[in-house]
């Protein structure tokens, strides 16, 4: 009887063939659990190992590795995004440029180790010269990895307050990852959409948000599991990309369409085509105090998948 592995995976164009059974792995069957908001699976995986296979935020994975969690990633990245538009500011808070955030309080939706927060802080630091240590980061939630200890300039939101309310009132100067409908709250970075694509063209950065992890005991029980899983994701992606190229994807992700025009592959899998971005996220994690010391990129992924690309 074929082994069934409990899996948490968001349904997207490039994973749909896995979810509907059009593409099947060779050595096991998926047992998908419906998790409507995939972030709700992250804490369950990190704290309780609730799934055999789980989509997981990249910085959550890095933090998990630092604390010895019993799962390992394959170099598949089911979610990527550009983050220049993810930070808004109060126009009455004395902020004219990102550099003006120094000495002020900036909100971060959920935890400090959230991947969007990491990428936005890297943009502030490396594109706008912001000294991150001079900002007080205000969190609306806690961390998926309970053992993680926050840097000294990171604090929790006051009880009964929201980041949306704080940035609208000007009690914090800016916030990452929130939606605020107010004439006093605007995007901090002008032309954010084009700034993201400029970052891809000029810096080669196409930010990775999520990867896929597998419990180590499942890997030990099936030496072919990791490569089989990688190949299944690759096959499902090919279905999507072929349809995308032919214009046959209804409601196609506009980021995928634009990246395809720029690079030819909107969803590269494997270490080699993603090395620059993977090295960047490790480096930024160290710079921002998410990791105490860096990992090599290779040690982050199951050995049998390190040379695979798709």
Residues 225 and 196 in one domain: no
Residues 30 and 89 in one domain: no
Assess whether pLDDT exceeds 90 at residue 52. Answer: yes
Residue 186: its pLDDT value, please?
98
Residue 57: its pLDDT value, please?
98
Backbone φ and ψ for 180, nearest 5 degrees, come out as: -130, 125
Residue 236 placed within a domain:
yes
Residue 260 placed within a domain:
yes
Q: What is the mean pLDDT of residues 119-139?
A: 98
Residue 99: its pLDDT value, please?
98
Which one, of 302, 85, 81, lies nearest residue 209 by Cα? 81
Residue 156 placed within a domain:
yes
Q: What does each C-alpha distance from 14 to 20, 22, 52, 252 come to in angstroms?
A: 11, 12, 20, 10
Residue 114 placed within a domain:
yes
Residue 47 placed within a domain:
yes
Residue 136 placed within a domain:
yes
Residues 225 and 276 in one domain: yes
Residue 102: its pLDDT value, please?
98
The DSSP-derived string for 187-231 is ESSTTHHHHHHHHHHHH----EEEEEEEEHHHHHH-TTHHHHHHH
Among 170, 203, 236, which residue terminates a domain? 203
Residues 179 and 256 in one domain: no
Residues 50 and 107 in one domain: no
Residues 36 and 136 in one domain: no
Residue 250: its pLDDT value, please?
84
Domain that includes residue 30, residue range: 4-80+207-305
Residue 243 placed within a domain:
yes
Cα-based angle 197, 201, 203 (whole degrees, multiple of 5): 105
Residues 186 and 42 in one domain: no
Please, what is the average pLDDT of the chain?
Answer: 97
Residues 98 and 189 in one domain: yes
How many folded domains does the chain comprise?
2
Assess whether pLDDT exceeds 90 at residue 1. Answer: no
- What phi-psi label fits residue 233: left (phi over 0), alpha (psi between -120 and 50 degrees) or beta? alpha
Q: What is the mean pLDDT of residues 201-221?
A: 98
Residues 211 and 69 in one domain: yes
Domain containing residue 28: CATH number = 3.40.190.10
Block residue for tokens 């209804």: 250
| Residues near 294 by beta carbon (within 8 Å), at least 6 away in sequence | 282, 283, 285, 286
Residues 185 and 257 in one domain: no
Residue 39: its pLDDT value, please?
97
Given a contact cutoff of 8 angstroms between Cβ atoms, the answer to whether 22 and 222 are in contact is no
pLDDT-based confidence at 97, cuts 50/70/90?
Answer: very high
Residues 124 and 259 in one domain: no
Residue 310 placed within a domain:
no
Assess whether pLDDT exceeds 80 at residue 201. Answer: yes
Neighbours of 159 (CB within 10 A): 5
Read off the pLDDT of residues 235-263 as tens digits, 9 standing for 90 and up: 999 999 999 999 888 888 999 999 999 99
- What phi-psi label fits residue 113: left (phi over 0), alpha (psi between -120 and 50 degrees) or beta? alpha
CA distance 64 to 286: 14
Residues 268 and 182 in one domain: no
Block residue for tokens 């604090």: 155
Read off the pLDDT of residues 6-19 as tens digits, 9 standing for 90 and up: 999 999 999 999 99
Among 148, 177, 203, which residue terminates a domain? 203
- To the question of pTM greater than 0.95 for the whole model, the response is yes
Among 163, 184, 203, which residue terminates a domain? 203
């Amino acid at each position: 009887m074929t082994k069934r592995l409990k899996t948490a995976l968001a349904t997207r164009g490039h994973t749909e063939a896995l979810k509907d059974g059009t593409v099947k792995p060779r050595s096991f069957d998926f047992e998908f659990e419906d998790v409507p908001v995939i972030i709700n699976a992250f804490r369950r995986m990190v704290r309780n190992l609730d799934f055999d296979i789980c989509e997981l935020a990249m910085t959550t994975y890095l933090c998990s590795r630092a604390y010895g969690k019993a799962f390992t990633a394959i170099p598949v990245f089911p979610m990527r995004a550009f983050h220049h538009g993810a930070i808004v500011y109060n126009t009455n808070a004395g902020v004219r440029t990102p550099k003006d955030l120094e000495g002020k309080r900036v909100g971060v939706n959920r935890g400090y180790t959230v991947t969007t927060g990491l990428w936005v802080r890297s943009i502030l630091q490396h594109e706008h010269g912001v000294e991150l240590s001079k900002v007080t980061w205000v969190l609306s939630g806690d961390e998926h990895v309970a053992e993680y200890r926050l840097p000294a300039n990171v604090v929790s939101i006051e009880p009964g307050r929201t980041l949306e309310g704080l940035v609208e009132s000007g009690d914090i100067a800016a916030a990452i990852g929130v939606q605020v409908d107010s004439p006093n709250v605007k995007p901090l970075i002008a032309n954010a959409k084009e700034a993201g694509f400029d970052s891809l063209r000029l810096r080669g950065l196409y930010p990775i948000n999520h990867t896929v992890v597998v419990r180590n005991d499942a890997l030990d029980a099936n030496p072919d599991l990791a490569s089989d899983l990688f190949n299944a994701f690759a096959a499902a992606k090919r279905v999507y990309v072929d349809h995308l190229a032919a214009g046959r994807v209804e409601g196609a992700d506009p980021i995928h369409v634009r990246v395809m025009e720029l690079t030819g592959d909107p969803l590269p899998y494997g270490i080699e085509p993603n090395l620059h971005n993977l090295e960047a996220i490790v480096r930024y994690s160290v710079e921002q105090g998410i990791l105490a010391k860096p990992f090599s990129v290779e040690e982050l992924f199951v050995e049998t998948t390190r040379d695979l690309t798709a």
